[in-house]
Structure formats: C-alpha cells, structure tokens
Amino acid sequence: MMLLIVWLTVSILPAQEYEYLGLQNRQITSLGIYDGILAVGTQEDGVFWHTLDFSDGSEWNLIGLQGQNVLTVYPHKSGPIGWGIGAGMHPNESGDSLVYCSYMGEPFEPNNQGFEETAPAIYDLDGFPDPSICGETYAAAGHALYIREWGEDTWTPIYTVYEGSLITVSARVDFPGVVLAGGSEGFAGHLLIKSTDYGETWENISPMSFIVDVDFVGARADTIFAVAGQYVYRSFDGGSEWEIVFAVDIPEYPSFSEVLVDLSNNRVYIAGYNIWGGQTSPLYSDDWGESWTPILSGRYDPIVGIAASADGDMYVAYESSGIFRIDPEFNFSTEIRFRLDQPAHTRLQIFNAIGQPVKTLLNGAMQAGKNSVIWDGSNEANELTVPGVYYYRLQTENFQRIERMVLAR
C-alpha cells in the first residue's frame, strides 16, 4: 500500500489576530487604561503613553523615569478635563520618590510625602476621580495600604500588615466607596480586605490564598474574582463564601497574576504565566466563571497587565513581546495542513466528541504537495458549533487518519 500522507498537522488560528502595538523587548511591568489613554511601565526604560488610536502609525510617547523600576502605572482623570498618569516604584539606592505623577504627559513630579522609610515598594495604585493633578487615592505599599485624601499631598497609612505584604488594590468609579486590597498576612499567608466607605472601615474576606490581583462588580463588591498562584477564586456574596472556578495543576509553576471584569460586555479575563499548555495566553469567561476559553497567543513570556477600553477592546502587555490589542469579537478557527506525495481524491470530515458528523470540509481531487483547509467552527448549516473536543478524519483511496483537536472560541 502506498502511503500518500507525508505529514498532517493542525493549528488554531485566530480569526482576529493579536494586533501588535509596539514596545517589544522593553521589559514591561505594568499596563493601565483611562478614557482613551494607554499607559505602560517598564523595568528600566521609563513610562510610555499612547492614545488608543494607533491608525496613524505614531510612536509611543516617553514621559520619563528611565533607569528606574516602575512596578505599576495608573492613568486617571485629573481636573475637569485633563488626565494624569501615576507611577509606583521599586526604591533605588539614590532614594528617589516612590510615587510620581505626570499631568497630560508632562515630566513626572515626585509625590512621596508620608511614606515610611521602610516601605518596600509601591506595588499598585488605584482610586477615584480627583480634582488635583495627582489623582491617586490608594497605594499598596507592602506593609501598609496608604490613602491620599482629596486635595492633599501627604499619604497616610490606613491598614497595616505586620507579617506579610499588601500588593494589590482595586477601586472602580462605577462603585463609589468600594475598595479591595490583597496580599498576605500572618502565618497563614492570605489576605483580602474590603471597605465600602472609602477605607474608613475594613472587613477581612480572604479565601485561603495569597491574593495577587482582584476585581469586582456591585455597590458592595457583591461579585468578586481573585487570582492566587494556580487558582482563580469567585464569590457571589461579597466575600462571605468562595469557590475555585479555575485551577492549573502542572509541574512547570503556572501562576495567575491578572484578573479583569469588563463591564462593557460582562466578560471576565484572567492571565499570567504558563497557564495554558505552556503558553501565556489570557482566558475569558462569558458566564461569570462557569467556563473559560483561551485566547491563544503562541507566546511564552509572562503577561504583566491586561486592560479593556470602554468599547470592549482587550489590551495585553507581555513582558518581552510588547503590547497587543484584541478585538472583543475575536473568534478562533482551525487550520488542518497536510501534504500528498501524489495527486489523490481526498475527503476531510469533522466529527464531534461522540462521533456524529459535523461538517465535510473537503471531498474531491487534490494536487500533490502541501495543502491546507480551514474550519471556521461551523456545521453543515453554517451554524457555529460550541467550543470543545472534535475529531477530523482525512481519507484517500488507500489511507485514513483520525486526529483529535480542541476548538476554542
């Protein structure tokens, strides 16, 4: 019997590719978005900003802070019509400021007053609209969570951790007064606190994990998502009860570091490092965590930031690969590639997980050499199928091969 199939492969192709926006090999640390402004922090190359319109091919704007390790950026409303960018830093030997502020892309000004000398770093910044130029309200600074009151220049600690560290803080303008902050505390090593009065009082609502990032919806943070190492947690009752809605159990030290609830489409995103087949692809859920689908990227360096615009566009910051944009209507198709060593009548069919035929992609004469067929995820009636496990069967007169594949959308 003559073997006609030389090789056969299948790959997932994004119908909407990741759109590269720049800043490759900049050692990116953080990403933020506000009202048409995208801000990016790096380890040594400074802080950059750009409008969300990249159609004119313009370069990123460098504000400053070259040579310093920027851990977080916080673009925000500043004044009645302006915008600002705050930057939280890792301290250096020169004793430079831990927080800097830029108004409308102008050079950074230090805003360090009030931080204790023992503050290890400013890991995260977030807050509510403020009429002053520097609009940060909350700073997660290791051993303490700080607040800067409206119109004040001084930072004041409002929650102190004696054994552990606060590394993330989340506030949303949609839900005034609600603030969540997370990290670790004490021997157990877990901490997530919530305030519904701008930080006047706090409630410990932590699941049993070191919280790396958190996001929420609701006037009292009724629905909360938190990521912690290999786990994604969800609470539907403001933090009283928690459940794990996604977990990765592989030996290569996967780690979730980012979570985002996008209210423009009620979609939840999670991301990190090595959490989907070795790739650092973000995942999303359209059913509040009941199921998750990867947005396959083919990249392997850590994701260090995710953000969403008002119209639902998704922005992803990779440490080395740079910044990318994904359309919210992304959809994934599958390319099946094969090579024939001579012309042959070839039939290619798709079957679901229980062996029922879904669609015939090919049934006719094919030339020798490389060939490829793309399945867009539809059935014979051109209706989209559900994501999941499928099989494809490739047949010629004297050869047949069946392979498994996963359709992700």
- Rounded average pLDDT per 10-residue block, the chain, 409 residues: 48 60 98 96 98 92 97 90 92 83 95 82 91 77 92 90 94 95 90 97 95 97 95 97 88 79 94 74 90 80 95 94 85 75 91 92 90 82 74 88 74
Same domain, 340 and 318: no
Predicted pLDDT at 187: 79
Distance CA 383, CA 209 (A): 42
Question: Which pTM does this prediction carry?
Answer: 0.80
Same domain, 339 and 295: no
Distance CA 406, CA 112 (A): 51
Strand 61-64 versus strand 70-78 pairing type: unpaired
Predicted pLDDT at 16: 46
Domain boundary among 307, 326, 345: 326
Same domain, 112 and 151: yes
Range of the structural domain that residue 41 is part of: 19-326
Q: What is the b/e burial string over 307-346, where b = at least 16 CB atoms within 10 angstroms of the residue's CB?
A: bbbeeebbbbbbbebbbbbbbbebebebebebebeeebeb
Compute CA distances 150 → 69, 138, 179, 362, whole Å.
27, 11, 16, 66
Query: Which CATH number goes with the domain that contains 345?
Result: 2.60.40.4070
Predicted pLDDT at 120: 80
Predicted pLDDT at 8: 55
DSSP E strands, 79-202: 82-89, 99-103, 109-110, 124-126, 138-140, 144-147, 156-160, 164-171, 179-185, 191-195
Distance CA 76, CA 57 (A): 24
CB 27 within 8 A of CB 42: yes
Predicted pLDDT at 178: 97
Predicted pLDDT at 255: 86
Same domain, 345 and 397: yes
Domain boundary among 287, 309, 326: 326
